[in-house]
Structure 1
Amino acid sequence: MKLIGKQVLTPSGWQRDLLIEVTAGRIVAVGQADSAADADYYPFKIVPGFIDIQVNGGGGVLLNQQCSVDAISTMMQAHRRFGTTAMLPTLITDSVEVMARTAASIVKAREQGVAGIVGVHFEGPWLSTVRKGVHSEQFIRPPTDRELAIISDPALGKVMVTLAPETVPVSVIQTLSQAGVLVFLGHSNANAAEVEQALDAGAVGFTHLFNAMSPMQSREPGMVGVALASAHSYCGLILDGFHVAPQTCQVAMRAKGPERMILVTDAMAPAGTELNDVEFFDTRILRHGNKLTTPDGTLAGSCLTMIEAVRNAVSWCRVDLADAVAMASTTPATLLGLQDTMGQIAVGSAASFLCLDENLSIRHLWQQGTKIELNDQEPVE
């Protein structure tokens, strides 16, 4: 396959009339299109596919409730038409049995070649009850050897875990980090010293910055303050207008830069659907426009999509489109150690990219070299 984009976002910036050649799902050549008469021309901006590292559900599916290969595939398809070409399906705090079943399904999905499933994110269960958000308190607990074994299984691919450092021994963070697990901090009431200790032990980032974590104050930086001050940590950010005010997002982006800030959806089952009411453990998630809450008004994830997050970064936070795309693609790929195989339009990368029009609507999309029909999400032969 050969195609030419009117503007293509490459690691060195925007390039005009660039030829992209794809073989066996990989980009094998990128260059000027002077003599490529056999290539299809797309008069759009072509950008790398998005990578969502925190997606709890979508397409009517919540991973906790349907932790199967079919459910994982449904989630991927639901988010794919909004630009997500790779993801970490995310399990909210649950029983060890559900953790084990989810892990087994992630392994099977990867073995069966479900496109875009690069690993898994366990959000909990080692959290703070003070900052639990919608996580079920009955399942919040200290780590066990069985849970550590589940999370450390290399067959899972790339693994993230969100934990509250004040509830977990430093030795556990060290063990997980040494096993290649990406430790993120969140749902935590830790003080700055506890957060710094966790970073020193190997933690690399923060889950949904500002939400469900100790705030920054003048004499106690809290988790938020340490996150903004630490030069090498990553931060996930839910840019839906409900979780964090746009001005606050601007401050955070200026502090971290596009190389350390990651746009996430924290999407729940209603994402990509018209569902307004779904079950969630012993309560329900209600949709009010684009806002999800439990009946008592507690925020319960989002129905945000990645293309909306990118648009919001551009329109609300005055971020350059290239930087917004980086926070949705290149930066998460770098966090996951996959920067050589995804997250950029370059030789050797997976041929996962999308065409954006002037309104930042997705006009065409490819996932691992296969062009996807955006209406019904079936591959175009």
Structure 2
Amino acid sequence: MGRKIFVGARIFDGEHFHDDKVLIVGDGRIERIAAANDRPDGEKVKLEGGVLSAGFIDAQVNGGGGRMLNDEPSATSMAIIAGGHRPYGTTSLLPTLITDTSEATNAAIEAAKEAVKENRGVAGLHLEGPHLAPARKGAHLAELMRPVEDGDVKAFIRAREAIGTLLVTIAAEQVTVAQVRELAEAGVIVSLGHSDCSSEAAEERFDAGARGVTHLFNAMSQMGHRAPGLVGAAIDHPATWCGIIGDGHHVDPKALRTALRAKRGEGKLFFVTDAMSLVGSQQDSFTLNGRTVRRERGGFCSKLVLSDGTLAGSDIDMISAIRYGVTYLDLTLAEALRMATLYPARFLRLADRGHLSPGARADLVHLTDALTVTSTWLAGEAA
């Protein structure tokens, strides 16, 4: 691949900004951030101002580019979804299968094995269901929900070993503490979600190794002053990561600002899009488990709803989430970028992504000062 020297933009390394510096990339990896006059031999990539950052990482992507993973759980679908989000700065994502049949789940696992090997932006797999609570079903089909069985635990562990990164969203009511511990010890990332559990039940599973909470506030027991629920447990537990949807529809910004101030544990909230097929597409509707989901325009961005008004995923992309964070959540640009790069990388244990340290993958995004994406690179190559 050779060496590239990126010049002309502020550089955000995942922690800090660097002015009047250059980024040196060799053979698809970061070599170093250097002084402006330190330019070894290589191809110069001239950037017109703006910010050069590690590419964005999205742990929850149901669809994109006109394709839903549930419609066709294949490596081709995963590539289309990743391609649909790349113009918005996302260079690594977890295609997400929502509650479906065992056949669809098995197909998604097999597809992820192939897609990860292709190394074109698919970093693993997220299974959001079927082990969710019907009481907090959201847009999922309650009739397909069921408890975790020992066979499921073994299947998840085998899938994690084959894929590398496997995230499973499970309701606390549908999984035992012992099962959570077995999954976590085997490297499966367990996230609690779509759950009506008590704070005590959540804490037991966090302490057993559940690592996060899926789309904080949405489809879960809310925080009361005597019954803190899953929301309260997640905010209070210092080791627990929380994905948040910043689109102006899923959660009121006052609630998100409160969570950002209150969350114990530094850097534990990160952006997810929970995006559906319409991101990167000109369509205005699609079908989800046989039900029509339509786009309603208005607000910070459009929203996606079923016929009864239930929110069905989001219509937001990651650069828009960053703009939302800066505009409505009182975030500095540095913190908003961390919530789309460094923090999700840490949550997913993707040690070589989300930052521009020496040896990291040269997955990059260039942003204008107005926070629009101009270019992306995968392993140093324009994508």
TM-score range, shorter chain: over 0.9
The answer on whether the counterparts of 1:262 and 1:331 sit within 8 Å (CA) in structure 2 is yes
Instruction: State the one-letter code of the partner of 1:337.
Output: R
* TM-score of the two chains, using structure 1 as the length reference: 0.94
* TM-score of the two chains, using structure 2 as the length reference: 0.94
Q: What CA deviation, in whole Å up to 9, does each residue of 1:281-336 have, x standing for no partner?
A: 13111111111010010000011100000000000112000100101010011112
Structure 1: state its 5+ residue gaps.
Answer: 373-381
Decide which of 21, 42, 47 is 2:53's aligned counterpart: 47
Decide which of 265, 272, 275 is 1:264's aligned counterpart: 272
Between 251-260 and 263-272, the greater mean CA deviation after superposition: 251-260
Q: What CA deviation, in whole Å up to 9, does each residue of 1:99-123 have, x standing for no partner?
A: 1011001001123x14121111110
Q: What CA deviation, in whole Å up to 9, does each residue of 1:51-95 have, x standing for no partner?
A: 000001111111111111111000000001101000111110111
Question: Match for residue 105 of structure 1?
Answer: 111
Instruction: State the one-letter code of the partner of 1:253.
Output: L
- Aligned equivalents of 1:210 and 1:182: distance in 2? 20
Question: Match for residue 376 of structure 1?
Answer: none
Where do 1:57-136 residues align within 5 Å? 57-111=63-117, 113-136=118-141
Structure 2: state its 5+ residue gaps.
Answer: none
Instruction: State the one-letter code of the partner of 1:132.
Output: K
The answer on whether the counterparts of 2:75 and 2:115 sit within 8 Å (CA) in structure 1 is yes
Decide which of 218, 222, 225 is 2:229's aligned counterpart: 222
Between 32-41 and 362-371, the greater mean CA deviation after superposition: 32-41
Question: Match for residue 375 of structure 1?
Answer: none
Instruction: State the one-letter code of the partner of 2:192.
Output: L
Question: Match for residue 351 of structure 1?
Answer: 362
TM-superposed CA distance for 1:274, in Å, is 1.9
Question: Match for residue 23 of structure 1?
Answer: 26
Q: Summarize the Cα distance change of 1:204–1:279 in structure 2 as closer, same or farther, 3 Å threshold.
A: same
Where do 1:320-359 residues align within 5 Å? 320-339=332-351, 341-359=352-370
Does 2:197 match 1:190?
Answer: yes
Where do 1:278-357 residues align within 5 Å? 278-289=286-297, 290-339=302-351, 341-357=352-368
Does 2:20 match 1:14?
Answer: no
Identity across aligned pairs (percent)? Answer: 37
- Aligned equivalents of 1:258 and 1:8: distance in 2? 23
SS at match of 1:300: strand
- Aligned equivalents of 2:250 and 2:59: distance in 1? 17
TM-superposed CA distance for 1:11, in Å, is 4.5
